[in-house]
Structure 1
């Protein structure tokens, strides 16, 4: 496949998956608020979703490492996610239906965002010159547009129109996915079978840099998942509407573009390792939480969305870079999705519960202040991982 065609196709893939995620997942908290759920119950429901995705991610990673089925998995799981969104918007606040719909969205739509990264890792490790940062920027741009447009639509007509938009996007996704190659199974280049899940986990557990960074990511996610779950709740509590939520998401996504596109050049100019850049991103996550915790102005809360440029936009490509430099090609997808399953999924199980309890007991503002300490602690651990990696190159 020609290099330009591959990058354009993968940019469109990232753009469509991110747009689907924006509509189906980013507005989960406002949907739950509109259904009459309390902060504590929202935290519990989001916890169930995070738990489901944590269990599903290693399975998706193993499938991608052992079999050439990325296209089939992407389309099949996204279609299931569309059905989950339909049930969520038609649940009439029935707790069981709502919980299962949210869990389904996390297992499918949320996991497919990470699965696309694992797909990119496999293609890059097989020799494809894929520009991950630039293609991921396409996702940020589509998220920005989707957040602004859908936020206005939701404020006027509610969340039901999302069903029609999602199925239209799915038709476009089918066309894009068919133009992309399935990655070769891991180990094919060396004429040996890809490792089973338990073999990959055993090897990863011996990788000290990987484990320290995983611990750092876990701590940081305790903070970030609380911020993501209650950011829109904070906006609504300060007198904002779904339109303001859309503006905030638009600002977040647009601020990602320069860093995503220029990540490679930025890393070379700064001379920092991927692990050090991940630690820097975690520091700014903590700073964002502090800003939200001490702000009583809707304008400041919306402006805090710009922290996305030095947190998520820096962390995401640095994480992919970190995996390529730290983990064996035989278990890249598994390593990446296990990293997200534990550091993002399992941490979100604890973090969403923690965020819900803190918000219910002390208020949303104090919840942001307290969880900022966790992100800052994660930053310290990430810098420790960077120091270990500098002293000795560790590869599974």
Structure 2
């Protein structure tokens, strides 16, 4: 199996394992009697602890050329920690401790894998599409199983997926990068670059909207009187939209600004409609649009971060984009969405989330002007 096939397998397995945990964990927490604030706290800690750990993982990865070793340790420890959730279901303080540890060790998986992929000269879009396909298929399957045996199954699926990933990482033929000196100074200069800073702001705001379309989707679907199976269909539709965009990216060129704006606009339209409490069938169809928007935004953001950063700190750039951008925003979004859920109800919450998308559009509109050129996703990216 060649290098690209290993990466495709990696993304497929990781997102398949992650899907149940992301989509159905709050359904499980609701079943055991957690409040919206407690669910939001767990989601917030999953983001914040990861944010705290990500800069260190990125610097260590680039400083010692240890991408593969970091990924291996991350998936093994994460697979063990997730099994503690069912054991401590009735002890919220212990769940908080487990959540912090899990977030810290799971944090580097995606950004370091993205850096390895791009550094190997492989196309992010068409490889990442395998993750989208896996996420949707697995979410649908786990939703059906969850309806029969209970949502606790999501934790065991995650652990099994991490075990399979460890096997893939042992065999993946990636050469270690040479150590990089003065990583801290190089990273500081990257943060001071106004183009990269603008990208982080857009990623932060976009990340703040993600929980509404992910972790809280099952709560929203249930508020409409539908089952977890409908949530699974919704997630499958979303990931279908993602996969189409990621795969099609290899055949066209588009400016980063247009992709970022289009991605945010898709979120605004979807969440504004959700605020009107439509029929469950409408939710499923709108998730397709949400997937298109998510893929368009991620495709532009990941490639742009890679392009703006020196090659020697590629992992650092991706961990900063993920940590200070998407993860920080998602952490705030988890907490705020949980609070809004308790204050105004799930439908009205989506009206507030849609307004955030309008700000993302405004920030993204500045980006190409600051860059001075209309940078594009090339056919090789």
TM-score when scaled to structure 2?
0.91
What root-mean-square deviation, in Å, do the aligned CA atoms of Structure 1 and Structure 2 show? Answer: 2.2
2: CA distance, partners of 1:348 / 1:168: 26
Which of these residues, 64, 69, 77, is aligned with residue 67 of structure 1? Answer: 64
Query: Does residue 349 of structure 1 match 2:331?
Result: yes
User: Structure 1 residues 276-285 or 103-112, which shifts more?
Assistant: 103-112
Asked if the contact 2:62–2:183 (Cα under 8 Å) also holds between the matched residues in 1, the reply is no
Which of these residues, 201, 213, 218, is aligned with residue 227 of structure 1? Answer: 213
Q: Cα deviations across residues 326-353 of structure 1 (Å, max 9, x unaligned)?
A: 2211222111111211112222232222
Q: CA shift at 1:52, angstroms?
A: 0.6
The number of residues matched between the two structures is 375
Query: Does residue 211 of structure 1 match 2:197?
Result: yes
Over 3 Å counting, the alpha-carbon distance change for 1:235 and 1:104 in structure 2 is farther
Asked if the contact 1:227–1:368 (Cα under 8 Å) also holds between the matched residues in 2, the reply is no
5+ residue gaps, structure 1, are: 125-129
TM-score when scaled to structure 1?
0.88
Q: CA shift at 1:213, angstroms?
A: 1.7
2: CA distance, partners of 1:7 / 1:368: 39
Over 3 Å counting, the alpha-carbon distance change for 1:14 and 1:356 in structure 2 is same
| 1:127 paired residue number | none
1: CA distance, partners of 2:295 / 2:236: 14
Give 3-state SS (helix, strand or coil) of 2:128's partner: helix
Query: Does residue 34 of structure 1 match 2:16?
Result: no
5+ residue gaps, structure 2, are: 376-381
1: CA distance, partners of 2:154 / 2:204: 32
Over 3 Å counting, the alpha-carbon distance change for 1:303 and 1:107 in structure 2 is farther
Mapping of residues 214-363 of structure 1, within 5 Å: 214-266=200-252, 268=253, 272-363=254-345
Asked if the contact 1:148–1:243 (Cα under 8 Å) also holds between the matched residues in 2, the reply is yes
Mapping of residues 148-167 of structure 1, within 5 Å: 148-162=140-154, 164-167=156-159
User: Structure 1 residues 109-118 or 341-350, which shifts more?
Assistant: 109-118
Query: Does residue 139 of structure 1 match 2:125?
Result: no
2: CA distance, partners of 1:136 / 1:70: 18
User: Structure 1 residues 296-305 or 14-23, which shifts more?
Assistant: 296-305
Which of these residues, 27, 41, 44, is aligned with residue 41 of structure 2? Answer: 44
Over 3 Å counting, the alpha-carbon distance change for 1:167 and 1:366 in structure 2 is closer
Mapping of residues 362-373 of structure 1, within 5 Å: 362-373=344-355
2: CA distance, partners of 1:159 / 1:275: 39
Q: CA shift at 1:11, angstroms?
A: 0.2
Q: CA shift at 1:156, angstroms?
A: 0.7
| 2:379 paired residue number | none
Over 3 Å counting, the alpha-carbon distance change for 1:351 and 1:161 in structure 2 is closer
